[in-house]
Amino acid sequence: MTQQITSLLDDTSQGVSLDTFSGLTKGCPAPFWLFQGVCAAWGIDHSRAQLNLITVSENATFLLLLDGEPQGVVRVSQPGYVGGPEAVASEISWLNALHDIDGISLINPVPTIRGTFVTKINDLNGIGWTVISTKFVEGTVLEDLDNPAPYYETIGEWAAKFHEQSRTWTKPYGFTRFNWDLSNMVGPAPRWGRWENADLSDEERHLCETALWKAMDVVMKVPRTTETWGLIHADLRPSNVIRGDDGKLTIIDFDDAGYSWYLYDYASSLSFIEHEPYAPDLAKAWVKGYQSVAGAFTDEQLHIMSALSMIRRLQMLGWTTSHREDALPDGLAAQQAPGSVMCAKRYLDDPLWLLH
């Protein structure tokens, strides 16, 4: 019998988004209504548990400790974000299916005491927040390494395996995820904010706009077929890959998973760091890993993925205009505007500059 998305839910109602967690900083305890709701949903003894903030971006994520030891990560989505509880349940459905791929390590979602993976917890105003929990993964996020390039061949390889699975997977009834098309990335009302609102001079803004139109001219000509377009992770960047003490990698954070060009996974893997001196090493390692599974890229594909990378750079510049600076490592947010100008110059001179 085909699985239905509603089987992963225990409540499908939605509410209006609130900025409930804006006053919290890293390490702060969760509001009591959330702490109490998480303990109830997952059958946790209050006296053994702590729930402390990790970060706030599109979601608020919290570290769950039992008897002082990390046990899980709790993610709280804004009501209605990415399509509501059904979309989050769809994310978990794909994540669970990806676990069937040999040789890949992914986070493990933890079911509630009802056996569902997605629950709703009401705040003090009666607004429902969509909440999931995953097992804690011990290790270091690649973002904290001086140079994550040695691990990017594996990331490229795994991206290719994700894409192979996506092309053939039969989605459960009710499956729903959003699109990462050009309008959602850099359109008049993009999902994460307008890059044009960043702190740029008129000359810098014109330069970035010129690079953007050059890149969009490439991407707009790409047909959406089963080979080019499908369900992807869309955020395989260093902050979403954890290296264990044994060197094993684990991919986390599927909340951006949606439909887009498959090659957008290349672009997203370089998010925020295209301007860094080591970025070309990452790009080339990713390509090598991907090609080991999917075969050699054509010259046309290399230009498409490079164009998507330029678009992604400005998309994430827009992200910085609508998100907290502490959602990125120290100093990285401030580098986004000048770094984007540098990337635009390089792209206009040589669209494949990251691969050369």
pTM of the shown model? 0.91
> Which of 118, 146, 355, 342 has the alpha carbon at shortest distance from 243?
146
pLDDT at 206 over 90: yes
Backbone phi and psi for residue 88, each to the nearest 5 degrees, phi listed first: -70, -40
Mean pLDDT of the chain: 92
Cα–Cα distance for residue pair 256/273, rounded to 1 Å? 18
> Which of 207, 227, 233, 208 has the alpha carbon at shortest distance from 304?
227
> pLDDT-derived band of residue 14, with 50, 70 and 90 as boundaries?
very low
Mean pLDDT of 270-290: 97
Residue 308: both structure tokens together: 């998507």
pLDDT digits (tens, 9 = 90+) for 222-259: 999 999 999 999 999 999 999 999 999 999 999 999 99
pLDDT digits (tens, 9 = 90+) for 65-121: 999 999 999 999 877 677 788 999 999 999 999 999 999 999 999 999 999 999 999
pLDDT at 340 over 70: yes
> pLDDT-derived band of residue 16, with 50, 70 and 90 as boundaries?
very low
Q: Which position has the higher pLDDT, 327 or 108?
A: 108
Q: Which domains does the chain have, with CATH numbers?
A: 18-135 (3.30.200.20), 140-349 (3.90.1200.10)
Cα–Cα distance for residue pair 92/66, rounded to 1 Å? 24
Predicted pLDDT at 17: 42
